[in-house]
């Protein structure tokens, strides 16, 4: 036992000292003014992104990424809405960074690393936040979907593609998050390129197939669409899914 205990203690110390958690962070909520400035300048009302313009503004863009990477949200100092706004903005900003790191590129899906057909662009671990390393899937699935139980996040985060809900040309903020999520959802459901809704036949985005469980926690998919969409849909309506256009949103 005298020989084993020091080894166990050493392992414990190493384990505890590797990386940090959200609970370890003492950060306070940050301002998203820089991101707000950038997207207002370089993203149209329709969600088209001027990636070359952001490249020209790389000093400001990198300053915002530095702000994100130095301030990990925590429950002690951040409200739920402050954390939610942070992670939505972080997902969108780091998606833009991923595109810029490989620009010009026709589609985000052309960016590959790891094992073909196993690892996707969303599995690339390039996001460093206070000693924690993330990929975009971590932020979407382990944080936004798992911690917030808010289906409308699917219309707020942007995957840099034509068929995605548009990149909002203003930053998400805690004091406006509810109205912003509502606006994003209404805009997406009302866009005839991405969703075509009538009373008896709907042609909808594949987002509603991929993440159906998120939209049916409190009822059916039709119930969700009727609550947030521009028309009332019959429960017996035919449902089809539109092809997804992965071309870059520029």
For 34-93, what is each residue's pLDDT tens digit?
Answer: 999 999 999 999 999 999 999 999 999 999 999 999 999 999 999 999 999 999 999 999
pTM: 0.90
Residue 119 confidence (pLDDT): 77
Show the tokens assigned to 134.
């993330």
What is the pLDDT, as a whole number, of residue 57?
A: 98
Using the CB atoms, write b or e for 1-30: b if 16+ within 10 Å.
eeeeeeeeeeeeeeeeeeeeebeebebebb
Cα-based angle 151, 184, 81 (whole degrees, multiple of 5): 60
In the DSSP assignment, the letter for residue 238 is E
Residue 138: Cβ within 10 Å count: 17
Residue 12 is predicted with a pLDDT of 35
- Chain segment 167-216, per-residue pLDDT in tens: 999 999 999 999 999 999 999 999 999 999 999 999 999 999 999 999 99
173 or 10, which is more confident: 173
pLDDT higher than threshold 60 for residue 115: no
Joined together, the tokens standing for residue 23 give 């609970």
What one-character DSSP code corresponds to residue 109?
G
Confidence category of residue 24, pLDDT binned at 50, 70, 90: confident
- The Cα 85–Cα 82 span in angstroms is 5
Kindly tell me if the per-residue pLDDT of 13 is higher than 80: no
- Which two three-digit tokens encode residue 171? 């930053």
Q: What is the pLDDT of residue 137?
A: 97
> How far from 92 is each of 8, 17, 68, 167, CA to CA, in Å?
42, 30, 12, 8
Give the integer Cα–Cα distance in Å for 150 and 124.
Answer: 25
Measured from the Cβ of residue 149, the count of other Cβ atoms closer than 10 Å reads 10
């Amino acid at each position: 036992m005298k020989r084993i205990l020091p080894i166990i203690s050493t392992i414990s110390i190493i384990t505890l000292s590797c990386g940090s958690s959200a609970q370890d962070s003492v950060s306070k909520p940050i301002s998203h003014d820089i991101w707000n400035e950038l997207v207002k300048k370089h993203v149209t009302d329709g969600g088209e992104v001027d990636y070359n313009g952001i490249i020209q503004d790389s000093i400001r863009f990198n300053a915002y990424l530095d702000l994100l990477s130095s301030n990990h949200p925590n429950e002690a100092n951040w409200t739920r809405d402050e954390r939610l706004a942070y992670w939505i903005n972080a997902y969108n900003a780091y998606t833009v960074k991923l595109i810029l790191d490989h620009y010009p590129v026709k589609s985000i899906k052309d960016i590959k690393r790891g094992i073909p057909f196993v690892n996707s662009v969303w599995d690339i671990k390039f996001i460093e936040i206070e000693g924690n390393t993330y990929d975009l899937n971590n932020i979407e699935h382990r944080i936004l979907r798992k911690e917030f139980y808010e289906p409308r996040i699917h219309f707020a985060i942007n995957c840099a593609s034509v068929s995605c809900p548009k990149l909002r040309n203003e930053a998400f903020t805690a004091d406006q998050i509810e109205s912003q999520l509502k606006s994003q959802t209404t805009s997406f459901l009302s866009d005839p390129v991405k969703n075509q809704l009538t009373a008896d036949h709907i042609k909808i985005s594949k987002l509603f197939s991929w993440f159906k469980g998120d939209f049916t926690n409190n009822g059916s998919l039709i119930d969700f669409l009727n609550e947030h969409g521009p028309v009332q849909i019959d429960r017996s309506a035919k449902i089809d899914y539109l092809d997804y256009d992965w071309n870059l949103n520029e």
